[in-house]
Amino acid sequence: MDALRTRRCECGVADCTAIIEMTWTEQDEVDHADRLWVVSPGHQPQGGRSWRIVQETERFVVVEVEEAHT
What is the maximum span of the chain, computed from C-alpha positions, in angstroms? 42
pLDDT of residue 49: 79
pTM (global) more than 0.75: yes
For 10, counting Cβ atoms within 10 Å of its Cβ (0-12 exposed, 13-18 middle, 19+ buried), the class is buried
pLDDT of residue 67: 72
All residue ranges of the chain with pLDDT < 70 are 1, 68-70
What DSSP element (H or E) covers 5?
A: strand 4-8
pLDDT of residue 11: 94
pLDDT of residue 70: 56
* CA–CA distances in Å: residue 10 to residues 1, 31: 24, 12
Specify whether the CB–CB gap between 11 and 3 falls below 8 A.
no
pLDDT of residue 64: 95
